[in-house]
Structure 1
Amino acid sequence: MNFPFDSVLVANRGEIACRIIRTQRRLGLRSIAVYSEADRDAQHVRMADAAFPIGGPRPQDSYLRSAAILEAARAGGAGAVHPGYGFLSENPDFAEAVAQAGLVFVGPPAASMRRMGSKAGAKQLMADRGVPVVPGYTGENQDPGLLAREAASIGFPLMIKAAYGGGGKGMRIVRGAGEFEAALTACQREAQGAFGNARMLLERYIEQPRHIEFQIFGDAHGHVIHLNERECSVQRRYQKVLEETPSPFLTPALRTAMGAAAIAAGKALDYRNAGTVEFIVAPDGGFYFMELNARLQVEHPVTEMTLGLDLVEMQLRVAAGEPLSADLMQRTPAQHGHAIELRLYAEDPAQGFLPGSGRLDHLALPAPSPHVRVDAGVIEGDTVSIHYDPMIAKIIAWDLDRERALARMREALADCHVRGPKSNVAFLERLIAHPALREARIDSGYLDRALNEFLPGDALDETAAQAAAVALLLKQDAEAVVDPSPWARCDGWRLQGAEARELFLQTGARRLRVLATGFDGDYDLRLDDATRVHAARGARLADGALSLHLDGRALRLPAHGTGASVEVHHDVQRHTFERAAAYLATTQADADASALHAPMPGRVVLVQTQPGAAVDAGSVLVVMEAMKMELALRAPRAGTVAAVQVSAGEFVEADAVLVRLD
């Protein structure tokens, strides 16, 4: 088919913009990008045939400015606009403005969006069409007293949800009437900031639910199909962590029933282009409509990997007026194999998944293959910005069945290495090795209930520590060999016998002192003040692995080192060690235990204390917004507030003092 447009503007950023541009290039379409000040050197800008600046780094100053995006489309000669996901992808006003500008919008029409843009309206429409929905309140009256009475009528636990939201924002589980007022206020504030609308809906909370969604497609000729399901039950605070297809929970009968309901939902909305019908599924197999996302989803690659389709190409063809293929309309395509997706983020799981930012000093990702796909919007040397989602890449693994796909994912994660901002790669490795995940027992609340099972404990893995020390010693010795001078040797030779080398390692909050004698792969090691000497012999570091005999055991451990850092895998877990200085300096943050610091750059949205107030340890004093999420900052200890050094709306830098205690 010849497209009625020869160029497409991508009104988005990051990995999705890069992914859309790749498909356009394959189809012979010219790609036009837009970028904020923060994204001037971003990968999607470098990949596009042309790119236009549209404003400041904050989304509201750039990627949410529809007029600036349309001006860029006019300047670039675009014939169509692809919104990607997020930002303006589900904004009916933007879709309408694109059409009024004489351009093709790659997505559903504005009228369909308006019918589904309100979760409340969509839910009522689904109920009218016979699609199962969760009992709740969807009315327009948002009086707090009325909402409290409706909540009591529905019963607890219940879910408060932003009517115009998504991505877990503006959502809280409330388990008792005493929690309702505070949770409602927080949801309204979060929804207003993220979506510009504070309307809430209430619904019964299904205990231990699964989250299963169906990919649907509609064309301009009245056809609606589904392309099977994706299970997204592995979530943390309503944010998806792992997605897979096929769902290990669904029976053929349940898959058929849910697929039919998904198609009914699409037809009720006269749906066109790609969309996702999301369901809550109870342990007994009962399923209930949650929402219809009017866009391509982050997790769409798992569908592509098992069906051999390019969903972006399908979007472009449907937008161009082409009907869905006869084969797809006749029958749902059979899935081939199993695919799993994980999201690699710049965040620190040990610090409550605090988002990270900064330069990616080192970034290694697995090589693409028939079994592994990597969708990334950054490369080594790029910066993870504080203004956007901190995703580094999506890692997708495929194989003939789930067990083998998990093995492929384990291998792919072992090839991921991030230096700069902290990443969640070690958390992801623990996740896929966990029995609940491998046995497909995880519901959408499991991670929040049992998060400690997926985080590193305080116990030191001595084998990993010894291996890390050996890897660093090998590197030191290799550097010494380059210099033939005897003064450059590191073997500690003395007339009276070899002197031990002293090496300090940092892993998390733990600092280790290692005494080592030997050279070039043969070492005797002592950790801290232990009297036992560990014998490492024949150590070699090559092809991403450390091989050695340690205390008589032959070991081969995946190992990766950059600079003064080394990562070692042992017992299916990643252990990171940094070479530390021999002497410790006391930082201002260590000395100032009576101050509440900003953990990262961001905007203050709420100050919940004042000078003279008595506070308990752990009390929320300030709420910040950074990287599209709210952070509740708590008092480091009990005391009296001496000074509040920040106000709502103010932008603060990392480590800025916000509140001081007496």
Structure 2
Amino acid sequence: MFKKILIANRGEIALRVIRTCKEIGVKTVAVYSTADSESLHVRFADEAVCIGPPSSSESYLKMSAILAAAEITNADAIHPGYGFLAENAKFSKLCEEHGIKFIGATAEMISQMGDKASARATMKAAGVPTIPGSEGILETFEEAESLADEMGYPVMLKATAGGGGKGMRAVWKKEKLRDLWDSARQEAGAAFGNEDMYLEKLIEEPRHIEIQVIGDSFGKACHLSERDCSIQRRHQKLTEEAPSPFMTPQLRKKMGEAAVMAAEYISYEGAGTIEFLVDKHKNFYFMEMNTRIQVEHPITEQVIDYDLIYEQIKVAAGIPISGKNYFPKLHSIECRINAEDPFNDFRPSPGKITTLHIPGGHGVRVDSHVYAGYSIPPNYDSMIAKLITTAQTREEAISKMRRALNEFVIEGIKTTIPFHRQLMEHPDYIAGNYTTKFMEDFEIQPVEEDE
């Protein structure tokens, strides 16, 4: 086991890793920018090193500063959390070259699965169902046009280096293809420095269902069942649940087997997620693989009673997994609490939290790094907490979530709590009748200021 782990991240995920490390007797090092000097992850780590100014490029993305912090504190491993450098092949390789264990995928695996066209080809070779589409990067617009005609509309243009919805365009009619091709390439070039595109058949009424996997250094993998992440806005998840209300035991078995097959085909090491689109007929198709821990990992932990961070650390230390697949015993829902104004197009709302009351009670979990008096910097992602409720049934988990949301008080900034309250009362959500298009028709209703 490692003696000391540096957490190359911030906020709630850094605090989450620190907590598990403390429980297993491993020392921790926090890194922080000057904007995060008052964050809880800095206070609770055994050591803390400032790595630069507020800008991510000069702090949390600056590999040399993070590696220097690891070396001066004698950390023997680095946990990257999610975001920032978690899926950066170069950083994974640099850690290896400096004799520091990267608690995550190898550089080769990140490269193989990080490029969407490469990942799709790999999964196809592994026998995992993939969405019909181009075999690789489209060289010309004419190639895209010909393939779209062959598959039939609607189709989806995707940037091969994409993420967060950047460089993605749904094309419903042939007449729109040229304009959308040009705009997607332009957006992808600006966001990723790479204009390469590929084309897929558009899946109608899709659910976004992901399977959590763990792989060890001995080539063995297992799955920890599914999460439904279909409630999204602009391809950003708002709430997730496990298990999916859309799932059947037969579909869960098939998707779990496909995910394990995918992980073992590439000898995947660490925690990862195989993401699928599932159509209304329950056909499922590989979408992408995330080679890191996910924001929504707590709901999986809750329904199978399993510490995913501990498992990541054990696998990185060379400890084999049991190889057992896990299936949900309970139902868990996560609401992402963001510092955003849901009544103003979810505009970011950084600032000082003047009052904070965290909900509690049986089956309520809150992962957060904020406190009363804490100032949320404008430099990073707007998520400030994750509210998770767990119960015997979905109906009970929703009821518990309603109660917890009503207890959750955050003043001084705007948050997404009012949106989540309305979501938990929406008849289609309550019925489990939703797809990735749900938010296109959802209209948040105005509420009185004191609510």
Q: What SS class does the counterpart of residue 326 from structure 2 fall into?
A: coil
> Is the CA contact 1:116–1:269 (under 8 Å) kept in the aligned structure 2?
no
Listed as ranges, the matches of 1:153-232 within 5 Å are 153-232=150-229
Determine which of 105, 109, 114 is the counterpart of 2:111. Answer: 114
Shift of 1:356: 1.7
State yes or no: 1:395 paired with 2:387.
Answer: yes
Match of 2:68 in 1: 71
- Maintained 8 Å contact 2:116/2:161: yes
**Structure 1 residue 224, shift from structure 2 partner:** 0.7
Q: What is the deviation of 1:152?
A: 4.4
Amino acid at match of 1:247: S
Higher relative CO (Cα under 8 Å, sequence separation at least 6) belongs to 2
Alignment match of 1:433 (pick from 399, 415, 425): 425
Match of 1:337 among 330, 340, 343: 330
Alignment of 1:621-640 (within 5 A): none
When the two structures are superposed, what TM-score results if normalisation uses the length of structure 2?
A: 0.95
Counterpart Cα distance in 2 of 1:58 and 1:149? 44
Aligned to 1:652: none
CA distance in 1, matches of 2:181, 2:16: 38
Aligned match of 2:344: 351
Q: Which of 310, 314, 324 does residue 311 from structure 2 map onto?
A: 314
Does residue 412 (structure 1) correspond to residue 404 (structure 2)? The answer is: yes
* Rounded Cα–Cα distance in structure 2 between residues aligned with 1:257 and 1:101: 41
Cα contact 1:31–1:49 (8 A) shared by 2: yes
Structure 1 position 110, deviation (Å): 1.3
Are the aligned partners of 1:90 and 1:117 in contact in 2 as well (CA < 8 Å)?
yes
**Stretches of structure 1 lacking an aligned partner (at least 5 in a row):** 458-573, 579-662
Shift of 1:20: 0.6
Q: Secondary structure at the match of 2:356?
A: strand
- The answer to whether the Cα contact below 8 Å between 1:85 and 1:295 also exists between their aligned partners in 2 is yes
The aligned residue for residue 523 of structure 1 is none
Q: Deviations over 1:323-350 (max 9, x none)?
A: 013xxx2x42342211000101111222
2:450 is matched with which residue? 577
Q: Indicate if the aligned counterparts of 1:220 and 1:272 stay in contact, CA closer than 8 A.
A: yes
Residue 359 (structure 2) aligns with: 366
CA distance in 1, matches of 2:430, 2:357: 26
Q: How does 1:605-620 map to 2 (within 5 A)?
A: none
> Is the 2:137–2:160 Cα contact (8 Å) retained in structure 1?
no
Specify the alignment match of 1:628 in structure 2: none
Q: Contact conserved, 1:121 with 1:138, CA < 8 A, in 2?
A: no
Kept after mapping to 1: 8 A contact 2:223/2:326: no
Q: Measure, in 2, the Cα distance between the counterparts of 1:305 and 1:429.
A: 22
Structure showing greater Rg = 1
Distance in 2 (CA, whole Å) between partners of 1:148 and 1:58 is: 41
Q: Does 1:126 align with 2:137?
A: no
Hey, what does 1:382 align to over in structure 2?
374
Give deviations 1:364-410, integer Å, cap 9, x for gaps.
2213x440000112222222222211111000000111000101100
The share of aligned pairs that are identical, in percent, is: 43
Q: 2:37 aligns with which of 40, 59, 83?
A: 40
Q: Does 1:98 align with 2:95?
A: yes
Higher helix share: 2
Q: Deviations over 1:192-223 (max 9, x none)?
A: 45444333322111111111110000001111
Distance (Å, rounded) in 2 between the aligned partners of 1:575 and 1:408: 23
Moved more, 296-305 or 237-246: 237-246
- Give 3-state SS (helix, strand or coil) of 1:257's partner: helix
2:36 partner letter: D
Higher mean displacement: 195-204 or 253-262: 195-204
Tell me how far apart the structure 2 counterparts of residues 269 and 312 of structure 1 sit (CA, whole Å).
Answer: 22
Q: Name the SS of the counterpart of 1:433 in structure 2.
A: coil
Superposed CA offset, 1:24-65 (max 9, x none): 111111111111222122221122111222222222222111
- How far the C-alpha of 1:146 sits from its partner, in A, is 4.0
Q: What secondary structure is seen at the aligned counterpart in 1 of 2:436?
A: coil
Q: Distance in 2 between matches of 1:410 and 1:114?
A: 41
Tell me whether 1:446 sits opposite 2:446 in the alignment.
Answer: no
Query: Is 1:31 aligned to 2:24, yes or no?
Result: no
User: Which consecutive residues of structure 2, in runs of 5 or more, have no partner in the other structure?
Assistant: none
TM-score (norm 1): 0.66
Query: Do the aligned partners of residues 178 and 318 (structure 1) sit closer, same or farther apart at CA in structure 2, a change above 3 Å counting?
Result: same
Let me know the Cα RMSD of the aligned residues: 1.8
Secondary structure at 1:256 match in 2: helix
Alpha-carbon separation, structure 2, partners of 1:363 and 1:193: 39
Query: Offset of 1:235 from its aligned partner?
Result: 1.3
User: Could you say which structure has the higher strand fraction?
Assistant: 1
Q: Hey, what's the Cα distance between the residues in 2 that align with 1:222 and 1:283?
A: 34
